[in-house]
Structure 1
Amino acid sequence: MDGTDYAAEGLLEGLDDDAQARAERIALLDRLVAEGVPLPELRRAAAEDRLALLQVERMLGTEEYTPREVAARVGLPVELILRHRQALGLPRPDPDDRVLTESDIETAARLKAFHAAGLSEQGILEVSRVLGEGLARVAATLRPLVRDTFLEPGIGERELSDRYATASAQLGPQLGVVMQHILNMHLRDQLRTDVVGRAELVRGGVLGAVEMSIAFADLVGFTKLGERVPAEELGAIAGRLTELAVEAAQPPVRLVKSIGDAVMLVSPDPDALLATSLEIVAAADAEGEEFPRLRAGVATGPVLGRAGDWYGSPVNLASRITGVARSGSVVAAGATRDAATASDRWAWSPLPARRLRGVDHPVPLFRVRAPAA
């Protein structure tokens, strides 16, 4: 200890009646002070009940630079640094706030290299937005996993801090390697279907809209179910839906995203998407009576791919069709039926044309099944 009176600094409040917790707090504070953590930072962490996490926070980077300093150091406009940080889903600081780390300097240097390579600013920001959204979810999923692994009754702050720090030191680098591997696998998988044809070469770029089939599958009665079961159980059901979709979606079908009680899939092959939709609905039925039933809607037409998602009227139409489909069924728009090439593979049952919200004409609908053996 360096002579700091922790009690006088308000760092031991609420611990007078627990000698063990007080001793753990003092040992942790001694270590943090020895590592150079300033008293104002200790007070903030104590007030926010995160002293046990402070060691890991500092391992992840000490905030010692302003955006203006980083911009000057790497030779980029400070506004670009701030826009990039916002695109990642992080708060926009004042240019003179000390909120950036050494890693931010390295990232800014790479950002400059991307610009120098000729990549567009808008494209880089779009990638940043997707990375920010995806990695925020990874962090939100990983945090409780680590917490629940190391947090146990009676554990002291110093020991908990040590466990977090050890996990960060050992698992952090491994996680980076795994994430790089996963990125490479997805890039390889998507490049196999990303064919650049003669028209794109003549035009000097890929064409905007492409013909795709879009499907949504959602859990029937999920909202009402949320009024009866605990949030943890509800989350497990939504997670299981994603697992079923991942298991069923084989190339050329791709799972685009999960949206709580629904999943979105896309494919250039309408037959493959119909087969996958039927498989997911059947898999939900096989989960048993406690698992909600699924319904799916499929539409086909020109859509635009951006930032890993798809946009266009077929996307909206597939979502609307899902909303009117009966439990346990797969319903397709007439355009999907027309586009399906394996006509003998499906049994089509015409349904009354429906006026769907956002569509200015009645939509021909067909329930699709596999033919009876």
Structure 2
Amino acid sequence: MPERRPSRDELAESILGEHQELSALDVASEAGVTVAQIRRLWRALGFPEVDNENAFTRGDVDAVLKIFSTVDSGTLDFDMAVAVTRALGQTMSKLADWEVAILVNRVEQLAAAEDGGSRMSNAHRMVEEVNPAFEELLIYAWRRHLSAAVSRMEALGANEEDLHTTHVSVGFADIVSFTALSNTLDDEGIGDLVEVFEARCHDVVSTAGGRVIKSIGDAILFVVPTAAAAIEIGEGIIRVIGRDPRMPDVRVGISSGSVVTRMGDVFGPPVNMAARLTAVARRNRIIVDAPTAELLPDIFITRRLPARPVRGFGIVEPLAVSRR
């Protein structure tokens, strides 16, 4: 007898662990809040508006009750709760896409094998086998990163009046001529290139004590406490990407100064300057601004480059960096 293929609804219910049997009005009624508040939280999670559809579960009611327990206790006001929900939604959306992209290759391998079954049935099986352990790892990783984030803020509090503002070195690394290069690759080749670039850069940044703030396909933005560590990261990225004959060349721009941290991102002149500097950097070279050069120890040599206009900053005199 041929294998019965689970439907998409069945796969969704397998992931959610329950039926989607409630409307927004049902959730609001059971949680004792307004439909407008439910819709605002739903949008903050990153989902489209639903009117009278039965798109919700008992788990959604429990989640709303947990959110409002922090509001009712006075720990957070509702706007803060929405902000936390938005941060959670953005993070989980990217994580879910990333997990599916990784697992889909395995699903296709299983489906292609002799008597391997359909892709939907294999996806259903992988969800049941992988998700329990992954959920535990998710909580573990969150606790680890929360601990690290609190430690960073505690260290910052000893030196800064505003805990949202800190002095760091910001690095921006991008692939040279990525658009032209991507036109020579098929979709799988582009995906593999970006994955290797991001993975190697992430390892280099983490090893040196920095943090990858975000990746934008052909570029990454990172922050690190010291200028010397930023140079070390730049050298590492050039070594594992630019010096690998199988990979394209890269450019690295580094700027130092005060940045504002919000929602896991950083903002301020050093962020913009680091991005602008990559446009004037030579292949497999590191370019820094004057504030960064002043913070470097004597083991580094800086060489002034010709002054040039930099969008948003006027005339800037960047510096190339090398070791003695």
Does residue 54 of structure 1 match 2:9? yes
3-state SS of 2:239 partner: helix
- Residue 60 of structure 2 is aligned to residue 104 of structure 1: yes
1:112-171 deviation per Cα after TM superposition (whole angstroms, max 9, x unaligned):
1232341243433333333323322222233342432432267687x6555433332232
Identify if the C-alpha distance between structure 1 residues 83 and 233 changes in structure 2 by more than 3 Å, giving closer, same or farther.
same
- The count of residues paired between Structure 1 and Structure 2 equals 316
TM-aligned CA deviation for residue 315 of structure 1? 0.7
Residue 108 (structure 2) pairs with residue 148 (structure 1)? yes
Question: Residue 369 of structure 1 aligns to which amino acid in structure 2?
Answer: S
| Residues 1:223 and 2:182 are matched in the alignment | no
CA distance in 1 between counterparts of 2:93 and 2:115 reads: 28
Shift of 1:198: 5.7
Partners in 1 of 2:286 and 2:159 — Cα distance? 35
Q: Secondary structure of the residue that 1:355 maps to in structure 2?
A: strand
Q: What runs of 5+ residues in structure 1 fail to find an aligned partner? A: 1-22, 29-50
| Candidates 174, 177, 181, aligned match of 2:136 | 177
- Letter of the 1:265 counterpart: F
Q: Does residue 1:363 correspond to 2:312, yes or no? A: no
Q: Deviations over 1:228-268 (max 9, x none)?
A: 11121111111111122122113541111111000111022
**Whose Rg is larger?**
1
Mapped contact 2:214–2:221 kept (Cα < 8 A): yes
The root-mean-square deviation of aligned C-alpha atoms, in Å, is 2.4
Judging changes above 3 Å, is the alpha-carbon distance between structure 1 residues 241 and 349 closer, same or farther for their aligned structure 2 residues? same
Structure 2 alignment gaps of length 5 or more: none
Aligned to 1:305: 261
SS at match of 1:303: strand
Alignment-derived partner of residue 193 in structure 1: 152
Look up the match of 1:352.
Answer: 306
1:254 and 2:215 aligned = no
Aligned counterpart, 1:37: none
Identity of aligned residues (%): 25
The residue aligned with 1:329 is 285
The 1:86–1:213 alpha-carbon spacing in structure 2 relative to 1, beyond 3 Å, is: same
- Residues in 2 aligned to 1:278 and 1:184: alpha-carbon distance in whole angstroms: 31
After TM superposition, the score normalised by the length of structure 1 is 0.78
Correspondence for 2:273 among 317, 340, 354: 317
TM-score (norm: length of structure 2): 0.89
Q: 1:75 to 1:165 in 2, by over 3 A?
A: same
Q: Does the 8 Å CA contact 1:52/1:160 hold for their aligned counterparts? A: no
